[in-house]
């Protein structure tokens, strides 16, 4: 890598460049894949509860649709930037290709602080976002979903607004919706469940007994809390540490993830959980555990702390939690990393299921969703592992090679180059 990336999108480009070099990728295809296909910047006026109008900045990036309509979440975050959205849209492209579902990559965001907004203000913002972008999205064009600080209710408002504008009910335009308006069973814990399926396959490969494994989870939101619960309940792993944006807790004898979630719901944080000691987020990342799950925001593992990681497995439930420099350090230190756009692809896979069900107006039971998800995640993991072993490269780079090769093939067959 000639130049250290200065932001998340440059990091995504650097990762692509490395895979392109190994694949001897056509220069035209490489050039196309380094930049978003389309991006939209919008201003969203919202009447606030105090009667004043605030204007919020919003984005939507459609990175690549060679393999199908773009797919990707919408984030409401005070620190949102277009470069973050671009990077996440690129990673969605690779994520969909890695698990081999017929979708491209997209992402959206709004600069706002939803924690300081009322329900009415959030609804008006959500509808305003769709008002600004509805002609650019759709079931056959670009299908948004929830992401950081957005949820099923927000998706329900967005689907309703799109349906009003088009003149008919369109459940296929948005995924991650409430069940009553076309959501899918199994969507709530899909990201975590998909990650657990890849952890199970990793444990088989490394000959680790998950019933005796210890786990630390950085980020106790939807993905992190569900991963803790599923690892505890499905395979009997011991959750010894978890953290959220305010700090972490630790108990070597194990934490009850259900009770931790209840405590967080009641108090707003995992901190001060009974029978556990408070620790910092930084301390959690360096604990001696079998499995470390970064499940919060981006770039928490860097060249500074990666040498101190003692976990045998790093399961990247968050998007972009590890910098390229940290990836290299972990690999050479013998840490087995499950890359983000494989590990956390359960969410987009079940969103794909929801999209299919919405288009067909026929919905599956939860067991069928879990069975289909398990089959897709296991197949994707084995494809990436085979590439990693064949080329003697990290799982992250192997996942890029699998994904980029699939997107490039679609571009060639469609005559883009």
Cβ contact 96:80 at 8 Å: no
Q: How does residue 11 score in pLDDT terms, banded at 50, 70 and 90?
A: confident
| Residue 35: closest CA among 6, 66, 13, 5 | 13
pTM of the shown model = 0.92
- Domain 184-417 falls under CATH 3.40.50.720: yes
Mean pLDDT of all residues in 153-181: 96
User: Looking at residue 132, what is its pLDDT?
Assistant: 98
| Residue 242: closest CA among 234, 104, 223 | 223
Q: How many percent of the chain have pLDDT more than 90?
A: 93
Give the burial class of 211: count Cβ atoms within 10 A of its Cβ; 0-12 exposed, 13-18 middle, 19 or more buried: exposed
Mean pLDDT of all residues in 180-204: 96
Tell me whether the CATH fold assigned to 38-181 matches the one assigned to 184-417. Answer: yes
User: Looking at residue 183, what is its pLDDT?
Assistant: 95
* Whole-number Å distance between alpha carbons of 36 and 45: 26
| Residue 133: closest CA among 232, 200, 199, 56 | 56
* Whole-number Å distance between alpha carbons of 276 and 274: 6
| Segment 202-232, tens digit of pLDDT | 999 999 999 999 999 999 998 999 999 999 9
The two three-digit tokens of residue 27, written as one number: 């220069």
Mean pLDDT of all residues in 157-183: 96
Residues whose CB is less than 8 angstroms from the CB of residue 80 and which lie 6 or more positions away in sequence, other chains included: 59, 109, 110, 111, 112
User: Looking at residue 297, what is its pLDDT?
Assistant: 79
Residues whose CB is less than 8 angstroms from the CB of residue 273 and which lie 6 or more positions away in sequence, other chains included: 249, 255, 259, 260, 263
Among 2-11, 320-329, 396-405, the range with the most confident prediction by mean pLDDT is 396-405
Assess whether 107 carries a catalytic annotation: yes
Mean of all residue pLDDT scores within the chain: 95
Separation of first and last alpha carbons in the chain: 26
Q: How does residue 320 score in pLDDT terms, banded at 50, 70 and 90?
A: confident
- Domain 38-181 falls under CATH 3.40.50.2300: no
Residue among 71, 95, 107, 177 flagged as catalytic: 107
Please report, for the chain, the start and end positions of each structural domain, with discontinuous segments joined by +: 38-181, 184-417
pLDDT surpasses 50 at 1: no
Q: How does residue 2 score in pLDDT terms, banded at 50, 70 and 90?
A: very low
| Segment 120-159, tens digit of pLDDT | 999 999 999 999 999 999 999 999 999 889 999 999 999 9
Tell me the CA distances in angstroms from 385 to 73, 102, 115, 193, one per residue in order: 27, 21, 40, 19
> Residue 365 has what DSSP assignment?
-
Pairing of strands 238-244, 214-218: parallel
pLDDT surpasses 50 at 101: yes
* DSSP assignment of 302-353: -TTTGGG---SEEE--SSS-B-HHHHHHHHHTT-EEE-HHHHTTHHHHHHHH
Residues whose CB is less than 8 angstroms from the CB of residue 13 and which lie 6 or more positions away in sequence, other chains included: 5, 34, 90
pLDDT surpasses 50 at 327: yes
| Residue 87: closest CA among 10, 4, 192 | 10
3 state SS for 213-235: CEEEEECCCHHHHHHHHHHHHHH
Mean pLDDT of all residues in 13-23: 93
| Segment 252-309, tens digit of pLDDT | 999 999 999 999 999 999 999 998 999 999 999 999 999 999 998 788 999 999 999 9
User: Looking at residue 349, what is its pLDDT?
Assistant: 97
Cβ contact 49:72 at 8 Å: no
- Cα 310 versus chain centre, distance: 24
Work out the number of other CB atoms within 10 angstroms of the CB of residue 392: 7
Q: How does residue 5 score in pLDDT terms, banded at 50, 70 and 90?
A: low
User: Looking at residue 3, what is its pLDDT?
Assistant: 53
Q: What φ, ψ does residue 296 adopt, rounded to 5°?
A: -105, -120
* Whole-number Å distance between alpha carbons of 331 and 414: 36
Work out the number of other CB atoms within 10 angstroms of the CB of residue 108: 28
Q: Exposed e or buried b for every residue in 227-259, given b needs 16+ CB within 10 A?
A: bbbbbbeebebbbbbbbbeebbbbbeeebbbee
168: left (phi over 0), alpha (psi -120 to 50) or beta: beta
């Amino acid at each position: 890598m000639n130049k250290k990336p200065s932001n998340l999108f440059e990091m995504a480009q650097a990762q692509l460049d490395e895979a392109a070099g190994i694949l001897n990728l056509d220069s035209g295809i490489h050039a196309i894949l380094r930049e978003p296909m389309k991006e939209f910047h919008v201003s969203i006026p919202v009447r606030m509860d105090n009667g004043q109008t605030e204007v919020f900045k919003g984005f939507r990036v459609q990175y690549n649709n060679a393999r199908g309509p773009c797919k990707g979440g919408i984030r409401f975050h005070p620190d949102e930037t277009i470069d973050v959205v671009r990077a996440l849209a690129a990673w969605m492209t690779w994520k969909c290709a890695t698990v081999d579902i017929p979708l491209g990559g997209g992402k959206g965001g709004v600069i706002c602080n939803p924690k300081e907004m009322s329900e009415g203000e959030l609804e008006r913002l959500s509808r305003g976002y769709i008002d600004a972008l509805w002609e650019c999205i759709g079931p056959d064009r670009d299908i948004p979903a929830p992401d950081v600080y957005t949820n099923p209710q927000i998706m329900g408002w967005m689907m309703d607004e799109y349906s009003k504008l088009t003149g008919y009910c369109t459940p296929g335009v948005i995924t991650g919706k409430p069940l009553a308006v076309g959501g899918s069973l199994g969507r709530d814990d899909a990201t975590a469940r998909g990650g657990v399926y890849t952890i199970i396959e990793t444990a088989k490969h490394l000959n680790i007994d998950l019933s005796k494994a210890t786990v630390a989870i950085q980020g106790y939101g939807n993905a992190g809390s569900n991963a803790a619960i599923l690892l505890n309940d499905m395979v009997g792993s011991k959750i010894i540490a978890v953290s959220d944006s305010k700090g972490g807790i630790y108990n070597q004898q194990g934490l009850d993830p259900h009770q931790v979630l209840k405590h967080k719901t009641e108090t707003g944080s995992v901190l001060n959980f009974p029978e556990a000691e408070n620790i910092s987020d930084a301390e959690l990342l360096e604990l001696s555990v079998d499995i470390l799950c970064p499940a919060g925001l981006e770039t928490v593992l860097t060249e500074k702390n990666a040498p101190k990681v003692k976990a045998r497995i790093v399961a990247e439930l968050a998007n972009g939690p590890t910098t390229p420099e940290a990836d290299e350090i972990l690999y050479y230190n013998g840490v087995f990393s499950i890359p983000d756009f494989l590990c956390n692809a359960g969410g987009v896979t079940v969103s794909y299921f929801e999209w299919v069900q919405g288009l067909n107006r026929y919905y599956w039971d939860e067991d069928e969703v879990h069975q289909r998800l398990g089959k897709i995640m296991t197949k994707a993991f084995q494809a990436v592992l085979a590439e990693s072993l064949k080329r003697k490269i990290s799982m992250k780079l192997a996942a890029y090679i699998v994904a980029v090769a699939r997107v490039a093939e679609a571009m060639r067959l469609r005559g883009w180059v």
